[in-house]
């Protein structure tokens, strides 16, 4: 599945990752170890790998079987993060899971919520998916703020779900369905019309 479109709002642009992005991503990842390490998935049976090129190749390969979509996040034309759509299922399930990270340079500037909203709207309105899920560690306060800003609904907890930074970590489950956001997630966010949600931390 060859995709070459871009999703944009203001200074934020998301486009499908290319192999030529590996150097920019590697520079970001290796240059921000303290920022990213606590949230990076690890392999319990092998040492950590920083072979960004190989990892990116695997993500791009998911386009061929339509199981995933790897995006790079640009701010004013500079790569500042990634957003990956994984576990895409069609038909009677019609769902996907989103994961993302941004550099500390653009954190707190609305880049992450704008990126998540752009891709979620695309998945629901263009791809035709019904449900989008985001799983977040309870300790990841920055990502939880993104969830709050966009009004993703809390669904529960996956215990010891992903091996991250050396151990199996619990993750909160959040989701939205197309019926909940007929006006679009980005529009609702920009208009400050996100309804309050009940979360475990409030």
How big is the chain by its Cα radius of gyration, in Å? 16
- Give the per-residue pLDDT at 42: 78
150-to-107, 117, 196 alpha-carbon distances in Å: 16, 7, 10
Q: Which CATH class is domain 6-190?
A: alpha beta
DSSP per-residue string spanning 95-138: EEEEEEEE-TTTTTTTHHHHHHHHHHHHIIIII--SEEEEEE-T
Answer whether 103's CB lies under 8 Å from 111's CB: no
Question: The whole model's pTM is what?
Answer: 0.93
Q: pLDDT, tens digit, for every residue of 66-110?
A: 999 999 999 999 999 999 999 999 999 999 999 999 999 999 999
Q: How many residues does the chain have?
A: 202
- Give the per-residue pLDDT at 50: 65
Q: pLDDT, tens digit, for every residue of 18-60?
A: 999 999 998 988 888 778 777 778 778 766 656 788 888 989 9
Q: DSSP letter at 21?
A: G
């Amino acid at each position: 599945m060859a995709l070459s479109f871009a999703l944009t709002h203001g200074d934020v642009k998301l486009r499908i990752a290319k192999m030529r992005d590996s150097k920019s991503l590697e520079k970001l990842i290796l240059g921000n170890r303290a920022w990213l390490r606590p949230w990076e998935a690890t392999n319990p049976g092998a040492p950590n790998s920083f072979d960004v090129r190989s990892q990116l190749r695997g993500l791009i390969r998911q386009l061929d079987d339509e199981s995933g979509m790897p995006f790079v996040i640009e701010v004013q034309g500079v790569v500042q993060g990634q957003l990956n759509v994984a576990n895409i299922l069609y038909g009677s399930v019609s769902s996907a899971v989103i994961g993302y990270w941004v550099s500390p340079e653009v954190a707190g500037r609305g880049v992450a919520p704008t990126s998540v909203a752009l891709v979620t709207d695309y998945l629901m309105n263009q791809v035709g998916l019904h449900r989008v899920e985001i799983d977040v560690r309870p300790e990841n306060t920055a990502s939880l703020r993104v969830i709050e800003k966009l009004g993703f609904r809390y669904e529960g907890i996956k215990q010891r779900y992903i091996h991250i930074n050396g151990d199996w970590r619990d993750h909160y489950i959040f989701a939205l369905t197309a019926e909940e956001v007929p006006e679009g997630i980005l529009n609702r966010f920009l208009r400050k019309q996100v309804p309050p949600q009940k979360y475990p931390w409030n």
